[in-house]
A and B are shown apart, each in its own frame.
Chain A
Amino acid sequence: MIDKPHRVAVIGGSRIPFARSDGPYAHASNQDMLTATLDGLAERFGLTGERLGEVAGGAVLKHSRDRDLTRESVLGSRLAPETPAYDVQQACGTGLETTILVANKIALGQIDAGIACGVDTTSDAPIGLNEELRQTLLEANRQRSTLDKARALTRLRPGHIVPAIPRNEEPRTGLSMGEHCAIMAEDWGIGRAEQDELAARSHGNLAAAYERGFMDGLVEPYLGLDRDQNLRPDSTPEKLAKLGAVFGGPTGTMTAGNSTPLSDGASAVLLAGEEWAKQRELPVLAYLTGAQTAAVDHVGKREGLLMAPAYAMPRMLDRAGLSLQDFDLYEIHEAFAAQVLCTLRAWEDPVFCRERLSRDEPLGEVDREKLNVNGGSLAAGHPFAATGGRIVASLAKALHERGSGHGAISICAAAGQGVVATMESAGGAK
């Protein structure tokens, strides 16, 4: 049926600037942002009226009314309404997971081209009915006679006005992601200074990327924003050192400066087979060459909630026969500076590599000069499902700029999951 897999090309990406929660996008819904982002991508690559193989997308915080959010966004976009779409949800891994799903179908020859996308809003958050009120209304609805319905409704109480607000916490531990990461930081002995340094570097790198025009074509203005709102070009470790701890208690090391803020935004990536790209004379930036998802048991075994990428990466590398040092660029999602540093430390640590990864030798160091060279989530912000698309598009462009080389992506996700992928520059292949 399938002779051999097709190469999966990354044609390019587009996103809207990421905004801080309750900022300029406070009144934009997930569907608004995703539709605008798909339109931006369609505009750039001449996809207006085009029927694509599929669009895979998702959001982490979703209203119950947003059934088939991605499909509805496609219907509102310039893409042909005959383009099928589906929703995916894997916490902060959503954006990269949709990329992998679309890529797999291209590789198998089931589709020629598709879009992977993600969106999230923490401003236009879904607020649910009070759970007891909901149960009471459903119970009343189940009754046949008006009298029985009325009787069921007598259970309504004034307290039922209190709504159910989405909680930023792990359902099985009751701890927020920041609190989980604070435990990891303590477990791995991650200091405050190195976190602030990483955060300042993220801002510096993203600011430089905007300055030299790298972000042109990657980001389309939206609702008055033309740059990521969270970006602070003048950020320094000294300034960041003045902030108080927000996670890990009074002696904690994690601050609002070295943790990502709640953000709003959307991103999309166009993926295709080479033939399809050639027909449309679209340049290929890079090829997606590998992917892996992993999960840890943060409940029973009390593993670090955000440590799954530390497991996913070696599994992917082993399958490909690569070492961690075989890459020219690394994109590690900066959910928290401490998460990045814990992951790097774990890969360098002989105990972790022996005991948890069953390897005789540690994976070794990642050259910091090659890490998040065009900024990361700490600077750009982190609308959960939109981060994967931001990273894929940015890395593809950076690899294209280099003309050759390989890149690795690592993204941690809530509920103990992690998604990693590798890409190769298309420059050398031409």
Chain B
Amino acid sequence: MSDAYSKIVNSGPGGFIAGKVGLPRPVELERHTPGAPLLSGQALVGAAPGGRLAAPISELLAEAGVATATTADEALRGAAAEAGLDAGVFDPDGGGERRFKALVFDATGIADSTELVELQRFFHPTARRIEPSGRVVVLGTPPEACGSAREATAQRALEGFTRSLGKEAGRGATVQLVYVEPGAERGLDSTLRFLLSPRSAYVSGQVIRLGGGGGAAAGLNWERPLAGRRALVTGASRGIGEAIATVLRRDGAELALLDVPALSDDLATVAERLEAETIELDITEEGAPAAIAGRLSDGIDVVVHNAGVTRDRTIAKMPEDRWSELMEINLSSEERINDELLQRGLLRENGRIVCVSSMSGIAGNSGQTNYATSKAGVIGMVEALAPALAERGATINAVAPGFIETQMTSRMPIPVREAGRRMNSVSQGGLPVDVAETIAWLAWPASGAVNGNVVRVCGQSLLGA
């Protein structure tokens, strides 16, 4: 956390004044370090009666060696025993000073709005026990997959709870809702790992849907989940693109890094560091899709559409070329590259396409009609292509970054920059690595159950929520 405000309010005198005046005091978010355990503290698992996810949750926590406690719920204890999870018991009546790094609540058993009180029963005595940079994950059933209107209503209601808890939790804690389609229980592994770990530092208030996709997690090396996978990253020479390449490489991927010839030197430096091959071309050129396909003739596992630009103007002042140049780079070229790769069958089995959308694409932003249109279009592309990709056993998803600390944001006027940084649940900007970690999770072979999702990396920004 490098910004000056954070440094001041976390200093002794600054903190005193901030406390008195009620200014936000962002904590330094924990981030992933290779070799670190999945969770640096204890996890507490709770469930509404009749839930169906106790087994996969227990198995994951047992396999990951997470120190776990459960509520005294009989079904949970049984599932833990079955999974070989040596879990302790937590009973709020026992009092004590116990703190938890993560709270995981299986809400799939809630079939009626009257049962939503189970949320209150679990979180009322535990909310204050969440450690800094803690994790809360509530698991539900997608309303559209529910058996009755009452159940669908109750399950849809979960979203209001998690989004509010995200705003209450504070101290770098994140809160997510994961809807698990019946039958997709086994696909929970990679997503729960991502959401519990410090990899998801700047992801909060999100709703993630898991469907029936494959991608078994069994036997995966979670230190190098992308080992043996080949990934293409566009716009890889700088900023977020470079961070994406770095994280994918760390996770074991072989890289092909693409950028425009003008950034050749930067791209070469990154490529050398990451032992990657380079593709120098302008993706908007007519022959670009074919040229890329030619370079990837052996096939590709992961495509990350990161390249993008801003050409800000209000629509009243926006000339057509400014509009079109951006649309070509941010959206149309991506469509053409996807089509080319898919038509030629170059996206391998269990392949992944991950696009970079933007908070502006969701919320809209003054001066960015062109940019927001392109980024909303990315979301449309993800949603439209998802079913077709599912048929091939592949997925397409997008991340939508909020305020990420980059060269671009450092040049913003101070009031705009400070507003962007603070107007979210963790009171700070994210880092390029936060976007990269989220993309890596979507790219993992074990993430086959995540398809057609748009996951924001925005610290639960107030904008476009």
Contact = CB atoms under 8 A, between A and B. Distances in A.
A351 B83 CA distance: 9
A191 B96 contact: no
A349 B77 contact: yes
Nearest to B72: A189
B93 interface: yes
B344 interface: no
A88 interface: no
Interface in A241-276: 248-249, 251-253
B93 A252 contact: no
Interface stretch (A124-132, A180-188, A373-381, A414-422): A180-188
A193 interface: yes
B81 A350 contact: yes
Given A350-B81, A354-B84, A355-B81, A191 B93 contact: yes
Majority SS at the chain A contact face = helix
B86 A186 contact: no
A355 B86 contact: yes
Q: Determine which residue in A191, A194, A350 has the highest number of CB atoms from chain B within 10 A of its CB, and name it.
A: A350
A348 to B, nearest CB: 9
Contacts of B89: 187-189, 345, 349
B94 A351 contact: no
A20 interface: no
A184 B430 CA distance: 41
B166 to A, nearest CB: 27
A192 interface: yes
A252 B96 contact: yes
B78 A189 contact: no
A33 B281 CA distance: 97
A191 B85 contact: no
A248 B96 CA distance: 7
Interface residues of B, number: 23
A350 B98 contact: no
Contacts of A192: 93, 95
Nearest to B58: A351
A355 B70 CA distance: 15
A351 B81 contact: yes
Interface string A198-222: 0000000000000000000000000
Given A351-B80, A354-B84, A186 B96 contact: yes
A248 B95 CA distance: 9
A316 interface: no
Interface string A80-116: 0000000000000000000000000000000000000
Contact of A191 (B70, B80, B84, B91): B91
Contacts of A251: 95-97
Contacts of B97: 249, 251
A353 interface: yes
Interface in A142-201: 182, 185-194
A356 B81 CA distance: 10
Contacts of B92: 189
A252 B96 CA distance: 5
B93 A351 contact: no
Nearest to A245: B95
B81 A189 contact: no
Contact of A186 (B70, B82, B85, B94): B94
A351 B86 contact: yes
A356 B77 CA distance: 14
Contacts of B85: 351, 355
Contacts of A355: 81, 84-86
Nearest to A354: B81
Contacts of A191: 91, 93-95
Nearest to A183: B96
Contacts of A187: 88-89
Nearest to A191: B93
A252 B90 CA distance: 14
Q: From B91, B96, B97, name the one whose CB has the most chain A CB atoms within 10 angstroms.
A: B96
A351 B95 contact: no
A350 B90 CA distance: 15
B355 interface: no
B195 interface: no
Which of A349, A355, A356 has the most C-beta atoms of chain B within 10 angstroms of its own C-beta? Answer: A349
A153 to B, nearest CB: 50
Given A350-B77, A350-B78, A189 B93 contact: yes
Interface in B201-256: none
Interface string B82-114: 101111111111111110000000000000000
Contacts of A248: 95-96
Contacts of B84: 354-355
A317 to B, nearest CB: 19
A190 B95 CA distance: 8
Contact of B94 (A253, A349, A353): A253
B80 A189 contact: no
A279 B93 CA distance: 57
Interface of B: 70-72, 77-78, 80-82, 84-98
12 contacts: A189-B89, A191-B91, A192-B95, A251-B95, A251-B97, A253-B93, A253-B94, A345-B89, A349-B81, A351-B80, A351-B81, A355-B86
Given A185-B94, A185-B96, 13 more contacts: A182-B96, A186-B95, A186-B98, A188-B88, A191-B91, A191-B93, A192-B93, A194-B93, A249-B96, A253-B95, A350-B77, A354-B84, A355-B81
Closest 9 CB pairs of A and B: A189-B91, A191-B93, A350-B81, A186-B96, A354-B81, A355-B86, A189-B94, A251-B95, A189-B89
